[in-house]
Structure 1
Amino acid sequence: MIGRILRPVFALLLVPVLASCSAIGDVRRDPPARTAAPSPPPATVPAPPPSAGFDEVRAVRVAVAQRYDDPYLEFSDAAHGWALFAGCDGRPPDRSCPALLFSTLDGGRSWLQVRHPRPVADNQQLYTAPGLVVLGAEPHGWYASTNGGASFVRTAEVPAEWRAAQGRFQVIEATGRVGEWDGRRSRPLAAQPPVPGLDTVASSDDLLVAAGMADDRPYAAVSTDRGRSWQPTPVPAPDGAVSTLRVRVAPDGDVWLVGERPDRMDFPALWRYLGRWLPVPAESCPSRILSVAPVGAGRVAVTGPSGVGVVIDGRYTPVAWPLGPNHYLSLLGDGTLVARAPDETVLAVGPVGTRRWIRVVLVGE
């Protein structure tokens, strides 16, 4: 289920906050052209010179009263994003302060206002996936658009389009079995993975991976025929307690297991799949973290109270990225790294080692 806060719970798209330094990584996908026809694009504020390590600052001023709170920004790839102004002076929208919705097709260089289907409601929510935007507006329900906001379809339950965006293979919440999405719903696979306590499933090319925890032990199985048959794959015991396993896929197809600790801010256990599960140590790692994400080339990026670092070759190394301890990392399907903080959104585009850091700013007049 989607969460009840104004932050998306991307079953794939978000990397969980995650303990001991042992053995880890996230993903998404190319939306159609948008046809929303709202007000003319606002003028772009001249971007200041890159600062604090940013290669570019995309700062845009839109026709929104200053009393509005900062917007929530969500991207589905490096170009396509949405922004929701969801309240004024810390209070939910009302008739004098209706929720305002904007979209961008160029990575935040310009924004178009889109008609919000239910601008006065409690607990406004925003979620996006390629070719899809979903709005929550309590108590009225959910509103989904697949045409760039030109029209919305209301549903009482989480929209099927959002469930479909979570991947072809999913753990069916009601049964705890692996299902395959058929366009309308997930149907249980005839062959189920031999994984006690199944928590998670994800795919990378022709490899499908399922994992879970039972009796304080990690379990995993893989399939190379899209779930028609499964092979158990032993997972070496972690250093310390693990409560939940997550399968994460890096942009280059690397598959990782993330072992969340009972205290999810403790450094996780990490394993990498190279024909078998190999524990990945993280010497010199911080004890506390906020987020972790695979970034390719066998590397895992970490943010937290100690700053930003990368696990590579079994060692944690601080890096001079323009991010702070409050940035939460996730990965989009096109390989874009997103870092969200309470007051900003940063996109990192390009291959590992040569990423460009872009700060996206959207402010009212």
Structure 2
Amino acid sequence: MNAFPPLKNDLILRAATGQPTERAPVWIMRQAGRYLPEFRKEREEHDFFTICRTPELATRVTLQPINRYDGLLDAAIIFSDILVVPQALGMVVEMLPGKGPNFPEPLVLPEDLMKLKEVVDVYEELGYVFDAITMTRKALEGRVPLFGFIGAPWTLMAYMIEGGGSTSLSKAKTWLFKYPADSHKLLQKITDVAVDFLVGQIKAGAQIVQVFESWGGELSPHDFNTFSLPYLKQIAQRVKKQLLQDGLSLVPMTIFAKGSWYAIESLSESGYDTISLDWTVDPAYAKSITKGRVTLQGNMDPSMLNGGDDAIRATVRQMLTAFGTNQRYIVNLGHGILPTIDPEATRVFLETVHSVGLELNKNGYKVEESICKNNAG
């Protein structure tokens, strides 16, 4: 077992598990990314997946926003990519400048499933992610908790069949309707790897994890319940079961199913501690549907960061007022931060979250100084 520095800021962990907080914690999806000049400089010297596969580089990039916004972010998220799982399954994935992910040989017909590895040893195929997590956890020196993450099975299946991003996902959705049995076979194969991968990340030092169902909103409610939700549930249940069998403490788990507003109630009963919301979901609706069962996360439109300081401050105040500031809420954007965002606009966002959160909470519940029991990981 790794020995990690004591944790100094446990706001995220408390919020995710329903404990009171003196202010709403905040982090940003894709907070280590192209909007930061220091990251762009790193990319001038190194290929995207080289950074992912080199623990020293992944650690350095993960820490970039933590260092830039010292004291303003309440979590780090390991620099990696959801598409390392298809790579572990034997597929070639490239990150093309100006285009994004590309699969030179996507899955076209069910027979192509034979090309995937029958058994995946995540410690052999994805050990570099585990090494990066352990290295980063130590380098953080307890400043904030560290997120691990995976892509959800349906989202990864869509990439593997489409060969990259898509506006319609017509090829992947055709599989669901034309080859349902083979689709379930592929989704189960991805799920099995995802469970092992998440457990490995937690063992390596991840203190909280998130599952990204980025293409969830492309499915109808019926198709979501058929091809997404069962596998999301399975991941939450199996990860927790495996950790307990291995004698390890559970960590909070977050699900982000972008565009799947209709599934919020089902997701709140699926075994996750936190549901991350995109910007199309009204806070009052989400709170009424979830009834305090889970923590909510989100959900400012990332484009708002291009709207100027006054708009940012007004939106943050509105969001914090709607969600609350001292229990079961984590501030975030409704999706990943855009490459076009000015880093100083991000600073305004973070500073406003702090100041307004403390202001709104000043007459509320006062939390005594207490750092969570999971310091040693």
TM-score range (shorter-chain normalised) is under 0.3
Q: Which has a greater percent of strand?
A: 1
TM-score by length of 1: 0.28
Q: Does 1 or 2 have the higher relative contact order (CA < 8 Å, sep 6+)?
A: 2
When Rg is computed on C-alpha atoms for both structures, the one with the higher figure is 1
TM-score by length of 2: 0.27
